[in-house]
Structure 1
Amino acid sequence: MKLKFKIQQFQTDAVNAVVDCFAGQPNEQSLFTLDMGQLNSGPQLSISYEVTGFRNRPIELTPGEVFDNIKKVQARGGLKISPKLEGKYNLTVEMETGTGKTYVYIKTMFELFKRYGWGKYIVVVPSIAIREGVKKAFEITEEHFMEQYGRKARYFIYNSRQLHKIDQFASDPGINVMIINSQAFNARGKDARRIYMELDEFQSRMPIDVIAQTNPILIIDEPQSVEGKKTVEALKLFKPLFTVRYSATHRREYNKVYRLDALDAYNKKLVKKINVKGIAVKGTTGTDGYLYLEGIDVSQKHYPIARLEFEKRTRSGIRRELRRVSANDNLYELSGYLEQYKGYVVSEINGAKNTIEFANGVTLSAGDVQGDINELTLRRIQIRETIKSHLEKERDLFYRGIKVLSLFFIDEVAKYRQYDENGNKLNGEYAQIFEEEYRLLVEDYLRNADEKDRYADYLRQIDVEKTHNGYFAIDKQGRMIDPKVKARETDSEDEDAYNLIMKDKERLLSFSEPTRFIFSHSALKEGWDNPNVFQICTLKHSDSTIKKRQEVGRGLRLCVNQDGERIDDSVPGIDVHDVNVLTVVASESYETFARELQKEIAETLSDRPRKADIQFFLDNLLTNEREEKVRIDERLARKLYQTFVKNNYIDEEDNLTEDYYQAAEKGEVVLPEELKDHKQAVIELVSTIYSETVARLVHNERNRNVELKLNDNFYKEEFQKLWKKINVKTAYTVKFDTKELVERCINALDTRLKIADISYQIKDGVLEAIDSKEQLEKGEGFIVKESQTGKVHGKVTSGVRYDLIGKLMDETGLTRKTIVKILTGIKQETFDLFKKNPEEFIIKAARIINEEKATTIIERITYDPTSETYDTDIFTENTLKGMLGDDALPVSKHVYDYVITDSNTERKFARELDASKEVCVYAKLPRGFFIPTPVGNYNPDWAIVFEENKVKHVYFIAETKGSMDSLELRKIEEAKIHCARKHFERISNNSVKYGVVQNYEKLLEIVS
């Protein structure tokens, strides 16, 4: 397997945020004389020689100019404007774990070299694990960046015994990167001190002096773990040109220029959704019988059933058994008359609440465990639940070509791996429990597997002993040890495991590699992660040294398939958060884990607004797709706030509710009349609010007690006829006149392109009395007496040269010739807007051109059937689950027993479909069913068969949705609706009707 990379806008924005801070810097390299020391030519002769070295050219901008650039970048990104310049120079980039910060800072190096000729970089990391991960990132992105920039970076890990690489670093004119962990120059050991020593093997020079002469740019990865007091002082000796810090959890922020926090990453679906399986321990005194409620199964074919584990008397003694129980079952009898279960008669199993109640008053919720509980019992439950989640996820993703990994955190290596006196490997107690539980669960699945089940064949080929492995430090004998001891390389099997998990990410992601479950020490905070970790289980005592967010971060990255392609929004026919779900198996209740995780996330969002009150809306400037602007004054802010109250979008304390999030997801937010044309702008504005609603970022995995299975409706003649009419795949063809497109773009740019004037503020201050030196250093002595704002009219001078044509080509996909015709055709006053603000001109012009391009293409589109069809497997290839009473609605005319709905509108629509005498059968179509369009794939919602006078009429109903970065939501919907009509007209000869409806009443109007 070879991991593939794609250019993503949020990563490009993060790169530009750093690069643009030095706009105006000349693009030139700087030379210096590199002293190579004494060359010994004989017993009495030594020759001193020198060579030319390359260093980063000093920053020629004034501090004021750099600070102005920083403030422009911050304003562009909606960040808090820094009150002062913090050092020469320090920049902060905040990126949520799993969004590719290593990729971003590598690309930033290439872009800085391209723009300014800066080619010397030092990446400082806090640990060997992260160091190895960074090196791996350089290796796997090498070809990707070669395609973009036409060059490769020379990178190496600093080793005090390989000092010749420092000379290569200094003398090479290209991009050179030294990767170093802070312990390599900031520890008491002999090797760490060598960087500051004059060494014979380095021609009597000090390595730190040679490095410092290159004026390197420092990249600090995870500064909160790197920058102790001693390290901060040691880093000054590198004499950096400037420093950029990258992390999701900064302790201190210096001139933050980019933010992609947990809320942004989740809302933009750049990381996995987090589900939690909590295990709450109740009544550990041992006075009650042992009970563990694994979950509740709900089906329309039988009453709710509880999956309950309890102790049972057998011939060989008392053992614990997991079985399904129903109302009126007596645990005293089922247990073989064990005294501790007297009175435990099941009185109620509640599927809506996920609870079981006994006649003696004891009530358990799913995930509760009570009675005689020791730590090993709790760990066994966790391991079992992790394996169960793994197998469920793996069964779904196997057919998509996605390998599933699970990660266990433990606090002592001996619990996983032990060694006998001859050095032979032995299972620790956790490894032993894992193998026992894995065998039971896999055997249970294989007993019920279909003969054609290829996933079952995959499971049969994997030995339980080979499917789990450990990632720990390794001693001289190649044995796994706790991380307090330094690892040494050996040829042992354990080292092979270390290399597989740490270095050979591609092989670990392949189905041919049997390792699927990984045990690691809890000290693994940052460094190793893998995109296909779908389960994380913490088999350790809760403590404050390892944050929940750090543990969860090991599995947030979006997964990849066997072709190395990342499964994100660009992949047709899927919802990112349907596939990318991380399940955390916690040794505490869901509520406790979710609250703590949410609290940790909240601590990082201190600069986020929290409430949707009148003050939040006031004075915001909204712009729609036609570049029409509306400023929210006090009257409109109050009206918008009242609309949010009326529609239950906020609670009594002005916090956003789940109703708002569901409406926003569907693009159905109700707004005052004055803002209806600015719906998307309002949704984007509100997305900046951080809500304390736990369900937004963390979901309860146990709230999924309904599993969808096809019923007899699916096999009805009426539905099968419908399916044969609509399962044909099509391809579209577009023919349009380039001349017409050019004319439309020229007219649109001349009429719609608006570039705001750059504003400035003048403050008049006076220096008052100073009480202390610290007050003077902080700039607190100046008191503002008067301020004035204004606008910059006309040309804005800049040292940056823009390839306007090239940029518009990249953004629109049109040829250079076509872009030139558009730009030469617009009015001079339109083109002069480029001088006011080049960046804004490029962004807005590209969006207008794309809109006209889309409209032109849609008007000329035709669809033709292909020889391919959708198979009925798309209804069964994903295991759909929901929660009764929440998103799972029991129905009778659907092809499943339940409908999983995304909003109140969908729930109401499904209820009315199910109650209608005119409806014979219907289906909410799976996401794998889609229509290709030039503006993205389109997944219709509902397929319905109506019955009229005993004659079956088929209609197709869709609630439009979808979005793309380059187009506004409404434009996309219109384009996709148009394409869907063309598609269904072509494949069905108008026997399938297609319409867009808001409710069932509107649907009946179309039908009749």
Structure 2
Amino acid sequence: MKIKFNPNLDFQRDAINSVTRVFEGQEEGNSRFTVSGIPETEFQLQEIGVGNRLKLLEEDILKNIQSIQIENGLRPDEILKSLDFTIEMETGTGKTYVYLRSMFELHEKYGFSKFIIVVPSVAIREGVYKSLQMTKEHFSQIYDNTPYDYFIYDSDDLPKVRQFATSQHIQIMVINIDAFRRSFTNPELEKKANIIHRSHDRMNGQKPIEYIQSTNPIVIIDEPQSVDTTNKSTKAIESLNPLCTYRYSATHIDKYHMLYRLDSVDAYERKLVKQIEVAGIQVDDAHNKAFIEVHDVSNKKGSPEATISFDQFKDGKVKRVKRRVSQGADLFEYSGGREVYDGYIISEIYAEKGNEFVKFGTDIYVKKGETIGGVDEDTLKRLQIRKTIDEHLDKELRLRPRGIKVLSLFFIDRVANYRQYDEDGNQLNGKYAKMFEEEYKKAISSPKYSQLFEGVDKDTIAERVHDGYFSIDTKGRGNSKVEYFKDTSGTTQADGDAYNLIMKDKEKLLDLDTKLKFIFSHSTLREGWDNPNVFQICTLNETNSTIKKRQEIGRGLRIAVDQDGERVYGFDVNTLTVMANESYENFAKELQKEIEKEEGIKFGVVEEHSFAGIPVLDESGESKNLGVEQSAKIYEHFIEQDYIDKRGKIQDKLRLDIKSDVVNVPEEVKEQKAQITSLLRKLAGKLNIKNADDKREVKLNKQVLLDEDFKQLWDKIKYKTTYRVDFDSEKLIENCAKALRDQLRVSKARFRYETSKLAMDRGGVHAGDPNQQVQTYDATDFPLPDILTILQDETQLTRKSIAKMLMDSGRLSSFTNNPQKFIEQALDIIKSEMRMVIVDGIKYQKIGDDHFYAQELFESEELFGYLDKNMIKAKKSVHDHVVYDSDIERNFAQAFEENDGVNLYAKLPAWFKVDTPLGSYNPDWAVVYENNGDKKLYFVVETKGSLFSDALRATEKAKIDCGREHFKALESGVAYEVADDFDRFLDVVEE
């Protein structure tokens, strides 16, 4: 099976044309130079070298660059700083294919024949070489068997360098930056330089670099953000004497002259890469052990400090909090007195870089990035492995009938977790390999997957579907040699062996007959290897993953291929599931931050040149671009329209006009309105917003506020009260026991498995609605807390009363399932019953004439609402608009305005509160009613959807009861009433 390449993909052709058009107008040809012959012979033999030649003027090159940039929607450069060019292409869109084919195009158009590909690592070097092998037949067909040679630079094979200089055919050298980064001009230090910079007998006393320099090679840098890391690297590139330099990456740091950009948003919107689905495993209700996570340790001010997370008991609930702590901090106190933290006093904070830790007591050490007391790490990793297997098998069911092989990739940080050895050097499964085989056997026993395993020995298949790709260390054992896998940095020669093995198997892995489907590799394998049919990526680090999200997902973004080697497009096939060590919301947020930082994408921002590439027809009917000057005018027009701010950030007003298709554009570009709006739609992102133009500040209606009727109303209701309670303790115990028996539902801790597909547009990275699966976490390795003491401290009830409630409830057996959850629920229930019993015996009393809400408070209040959303105009109210919270309140406000009997009314402000044992209570309305000159009536009205007690929540009913007692205690002649519609209120008025 061979991967096929499509020569007609428009985005790749656009990138290639952008590269070649830089030299439009260049004559075809090459340069000749003399290569030193072999001395001490009768005839002085000389060879003729062939190099690249450039005759184009700089001003012509700049014009070409500007034209390319405008067409590609990029900001045009004003001056030609150098012949360094940038091509930005999202991972998985074929940048290697693009730059390889660009070489042939540059040769065909201008005769350029010497090319050097500079790479940062062994992994990428092997990947490029594999691509050269895979595309050889493809390029031979396209370019009529144009002869070319390619090779990896090897300091032990210097004749290849001479061939590079003298051959008249296309020459492609792949070289690692480390092979020529060390160059010394001091002769005494020359032996420390790379061989390429040293004089050599096999090169007739010349330096290999001099042969390369003579050719004026076109240099292509793959992943420049990893190559151009130091000044030495920059000088090393310059030492090649390049005619020009093209840099290809998805994440550039230095942009130089940008020629083409296909960023992550473009790639996603055009479905050129897989859709990303984030899967996360969250743990709910597991607070029964002393959880501690060390985030950071520092010693900036001479006094070491650490940032840690721990569980804090507050207001009857346990919440995970993060705070800065110093030596001597007692987590028992910080946690709200939780017994599990007794003795967890910080005795040392050690800040040496690379070895940071926090010591608790005498023997508990937690390193930076580590966690203790949470869910058992191996349990969590086992579940990650199982869910990855399930996702894999589900995709196999769908995709195998279409001839698509499904692969899954596991990153691990220690080889020993996957592969171990006995004393004789025999391979043994590490813990992850054991987990995998056990979970795989369980998974395939499901009838759901029976069709995938017809005729397969299920007892042995688990051993054959996974393998590890790691660096190999050969060690002696007696008279034999044993090969061991080992941890390496990702840049050593040993890594080269591992990467080479993976690259050789790249196409073999895609064959349905190949049993291998699950690949375990060292976490340093972040770039340089990928396979189009990786559909799951799971990072099994012992601590939280330090791999950047863009690196992590990059291994699986390529569009899948079938058994014929053809790409299969569409998100129905191409979904990459990433098993993340965090929530999907956080993954999306952090991914957006990385994209903004690494790609320089400004989500939701218009730039001055954004419209320059829009095609228009000139007076002669020829097609041209709108241009930078006209684009800048549109930009300024949008600022004037308040569509964007001065930094180009899109405002809600523009989003609404886009949604309504009424975008206001300058008169001279009316014909291009559709194209401008289309571009803006991509930049604006989601449109589900409130209309900012409808936002209004609610102002006081002074005429009502100063009216004598309102003053009399306010004088009747403005006073504050206090309350006292009297209750039956036996009744409370009885009610609490019954409520605990009926309402207590204490489950064990749970794993919550959530998956959410990410969407990307110019507005940002968005997580969709999640799908959830729940699984019980059956843990019992935790101490049982003193429940009586905790409940006594929180409720102020006696231990005897609490013990009787718990015993009479019959629910104490649930305590051992999840002690902390039991305590939290029991507290909620007991406190709720206490409030109900207290309300039954509550008595309110007016505090005195000096304690009241001043009428002047209305003048200091700021109130806002949205027209046609949550506010209506008012004439009888103390405000010129009424801001309502529900349809019932809106209907009441409308009726107050329309009924002749209502003199005036007020929606009582949030600061008007009645104290109750259940928290403060804010009634809805104050009303003055007078019908046909009759006596004036004063009301406080609470509006509810139902008047039936059974339909009201217990706390709502209790607060209403307290409100009634409060206004009764004022003895001011104000009637407190509850109504579900205005007619019901009129019935009360009639009474």
The alignment's TM-score, normalised by the length of structure 1, stands at 0.53
Out of 112, 120, 131, the position equivalent to 1:126 is 120
Cα deviations across residues 367-393 of structure 1 (Å, max 9, x unaligned)? xx9995022222112111111111111
Matched, 1:209 2:210: yes
Q: How many residues align?
A: 593
Q: CA RMSD in A?
A: 4.1
Question: Contact 1:218–1:243 (CA<8 Å) still a contact in 2?
Answer: yes
Mapping for residues 87-126 of structure 1, pairs under 5 Å: 87=82, 89-126=83-120
Question: Contact 1:474–1:486 (CA<8 Å) still a contact in 2?
Answer: no
Residue 770 of structure 2 corresponds to which residue in structure 1? 703
Cα deviations across residues 338-395 of structure 1 (Å, max 9, x unaligned)? xx9xxxxxxxxxxxxxxxxxxxxxxxxxxxx999502222211211111111111111
Residue 966 of structure 1 corresponds to which residue in structure 2? none
Distance 1:655 1:462 in 2: 62
Residue 55 of structure 2 corresponds to which residue in structure 1? 60
Mapping for residues 573-722 of structure 1, pairs under 5 Å: 576-606=570-600, 608=602, 610-611=604-605, 653=652, 681-682=675-676, 684-686=678-680, 688-689=682-683, 691=685, 695-697=758-760, 703-704=770-771
Distance 1:559 1:395 in 2: 16
Residue 408 of structure 1 corresponds to which residue in structure 2? 410
Give, in angstroms, the shift of residue 240 of structure 1. 0.7
Give, in angstroms, the shift of residue 671 of structure 1. 7.8
Which SS does the other structure have where 2:402 is aligned? coil
The percentage of aligned residue pairs carrying the same residue is: 44
Matched, 1:160 2:155: yes
Give, in angstroms, the shift of residue 525 of structure 1. 2.6
Which SS does the other structure have where 1:205 is aligned? coil
Cα deviations across residues 191-228 of structure 1 (Å, max 9, x unaligned)? 96211112223332211111111111110000110112
Distance 1:222 1:527 in 2: 10
Give, in angstroms, the shift of residue 186 of structure 1. 2.3
Cα deviations across residues 82-120 of structure 1 (Å, max 9, x unaligned)? 232222x10010010000000000011000001110000
Question: Contact 1:558–1:580 (CA<8 Å) still a contact in 2?
Answer: yes
Question: Contact 2:604–2:650 (CA<8 Å) still a contact in 1?
Answer: no
Distance 2:490 2:42 in 1: 43
Mapping for residues 30-429 of structure 1, pairs under 5 Å: 30-38=31-39, 48-57=44-53, 59-87=54-82, 89-150=83-144, 151-186=146-181, 193-227=194-228, 228-282=230-284, 285-287=287-289, 373-429=375-431
Mapping for residues 494-533 of structure 1, pairs under 5 Å: 499-533=500-534
Question: Contact 1:126–1:221 (CA<8 Å) still a contact in 2?
Answer: yes
Cα deviations across residues 140-190 of structure 1 (Å, max 9, x unaligned)? 111111111111431000000011111111111111000011112225997
Question: Contact 2:278–2:578 (CA<8 Å) still a contact in 1?
Answer: yes
Out of 483, 486, 498, the position equivalent to 2:488 is 483
Q: Output the amino acid matched with 1:162.
A: D
Cα deviations across residues 948-989 of structure 1 (Å, max 9, x unaligned)? xxxxxxxxxxxxxxxxxxxxxxxxxxxxxxxxxxxxxxxxxx
Summarize the Cα distance change of 1:583–1:611 in structure 2 as closer, same or farther, 3 Å threshold.
same
Residue 711 of structure 2 corresponds to which residue in structure 1? none
Which SS does the other structure have where 1:160 is aligned? coil
Question: Contact 1:157–1:178 (CA<8 Å) still a contact in 2?
Answer: yes
Cα deviations across residues 52-96 of structure 1 (Å, max 9, x unaligned)? 111111x21222221121111111111011232222x10010010
Cα deviations across residues 498-551 of structure 1 (Å, max 9, x unaligned)? 544222311011111111111122222321111111111111266796311111
Distance 2:431 2:55 in 1: 63
Summarize the Cα distance change of 1:156–1:241 in structure 2 as closer, same or farther, 3 Å threshold.
same
Which SS does the other structure have where 1:103 is aligned? helix
Question: Contact 2:642–2:651 (CA<8 Å) still a contact in 1?
Answer: no
Question: Contact 1:623–1:681 (CA<8 Å) still a contact in 2?
Answer: no
Summarize the Cα distance change of 1:152–1:534 in structure 2 as closer, same or farther, 3 Å threshold.
farther
Distance 1:190 1:284 in 2: 61
Distance 1:168 1:180 in 2: 15
Give, in angstroms, the shift of residue 656 of structure 1. 6.1
Distance 2:276 2:682 in 1: 20
Q: Output the amino acid matched with 2:50.
A: F
Cα deviations across residues 214-255 of structure 1 (Å, max 9, x unaligned)? 111110000110112211112221111111100000011111
Summarize the Cα distance change of 1:410–1:241 in structure 2 as closer, same or farther, 3 Å threshold.
same
Distance 1:656 1:159 in 2: 57
Cα deviations across residues 5-53 of structure 1 (Å, max 9, x unaligned)? 11211111111111111111110122111114347xxxxx686521111
Which SS does the other structure have where 1:49 is aligned? coil
Distance 1:651 1:207 in 2: 55
Distance 1:637 1:498 in 2: 54
Residue 941 of structure 1 corresponds to which residue in structure 2? none
Residue 3 of structure 1 corresponds to which residue in structure 2? 3
Cα deviations across residues 246-302 of structure 1 (Å, max 9, x unaligned)? 00000111111110001111111111111100223456543499xxxxxxxxxxxxx
Distance 1:155 1:705 in 2: 51
* Structure 1, gaps ≥5 residues long: 40-44, 290-339, 341-368, 569-575, 645-649, 707-1008
Q: Output the amino acid matched with 2:15.
A: A
Cα deviations across residues 780-827 of structure 1 (Å, max 9, x unaligned)? xxxxxxxxxxxxxxxxxxxxxxxxxxxxxxxxxxxxxxxxxxxxxxxx
Mapping for residues 539-578 of structure 1, pairs under 5 Å: 539-540=540-541, 546-568=547-569, 576-578=570-572
Summarize the Cα distance change of 1:456–1:264 in structure 2 as closer, same or farther, 3 Å threshold.
farther
Question: Contact 1:468–1:519 (CA<8 Å) still a contact in 2?
Answer: yes
Distance 2:543 2:673 in 1: 44
* Structure 2, gaps ≥5 residues long: 184-189, 292-339, 341-370, 476-482, 688-756, 774-991
Question: Contact 2:224–2:247 (CA<8 Å) still a contact in 1?
Answer: yes
The alignment's TM-score, normalised by the length of structure 2, stands at 0.54
Q: Output the amino acid matched with 2:579.
A: V
Out of 470, 473, 494, the position equivalent to 2:471 is 473
Summarize the Cα distance change of 1:184–1:421 in structure 2 as closer, same or farther, 3 Å threshold.
farther
Summarize the Cα distance change of 1:696–1:486 in structure 2 as closer, same or farther, 3 Å threshold.
closer
Residue 535 of structure 1 corresponds to which residue in structure 2? 536
Question: Contact 1:284–1:370 (CA<8 Å) still a contact in 2?
Answer: no
Distance 1:504 1:449 in 2: 27
Give, in angstroms, the shift of residue 605 of structure 1. 4.6
Distance 2:768 2:161 in 1: 51
Distance 1:500 1:622 in 2: 49
Summarize the Cα distance change of 1:382–1:634 in structure 2 as closer, same or farther, 3 Å threshold.
same
Distance 2:107 2:264 in 1: 30
Mapping for residues 805-824 of structure 1, pairs under 5 Å: none
Summarize the Cα distance change of 1:458–1:180 in structure 2 as closer, same or farther, 3 Å threshold.
farther
Give, in angstroms, the shift of residue 474 of structure 1. 2.1
Distance 1:138 1:46 in 2: 42
Summarize the Cα distance change of 1:681–1:701 in structure 2 as closer, same or farther, 3 Å threshold.
closer
Question: Contact 1:129–1:502 (CA<8 Å) still a contact in 2?
Answer: no
